[in-house]
Amino acid sequence: MCDGIDNDGDGVIDNVDVGNDGICDCLRIATLGLPGQWGNGDVFATWLDTRSDNGAVSLNDQVLTKDLLDKYQVIVAQNLNELNRTYSEAEVAALGAWVKAGGGFMTLIGYADPNERTNVNTLLGAFGMSYGAQQILPQAGGSTIPVSTWVAHPVTNGVTQIGIDNGYPVEGMGQTLASEQGHDVLKAQDVENGHVLMWGDEWITYDSEWTGHPEYQVELFWLNAIKWLTPAKNCQVDIPAPN
CATH of the domain at 136: 3.40.50.880
pLDDT band at 49 (very low <50, low <70, confident <90, very high): confident
Asked if residue 19 belongs to a domain, the reply is: no
Report if residue 63 sits inside a domain. yes
Average pLDDT of span 47-57: 88
Residue 238 lies in a domain: no
Query: Using CA atoms, how far apart are residues 83 and 167, in angstroms rounded to an integer?
Result: 20
62 assigned to some structural domain: yes
Q: Would you tell me the crossing angle of helices 117-124 and 89-100 to the nearest 10 degrees?
A: 50
In a domain, 23, yes or no: no
Domain range for 88 = 29-229
- Please say if the pLDDT value at position 242 is more than 90: no
Query: What predicted TM-score, i.e. pTM, was given to this entire model?
Result: 0.97
pLDDT, one tens digit per residue, over 95-149 is 999 999 999 999 999 998 889 999 999 999 999 999 999 999 999 999 999 999 9
- Is residue 131 within 8 A of residue 169, CB to CB? The reply is yes
Instruction: Flag whether 6 is in a domain.
Output: no
Number of domains in the chain: 1
What's the pLDDT score for residue 172?
99
* pLDDT on residue 39: 77
Do the domain assignments include residue 34?
Answer: yes
Whether the Cβ atoms of residue 209 and residue 216 lie closer than 8 Å to each other: yes
Q: Which class for 225: exposed (0-12), middle (13-18), buried (19 or more C-beta within 10 A)?
A: buried
Query: Residue 236: inside a domain, yes or no?
Result: no
**pLDDT of 243 higher than 80:** no
pLDDT recorded at residue 75: 98
In this prediction, residue 46 carries a pLDDT of 81
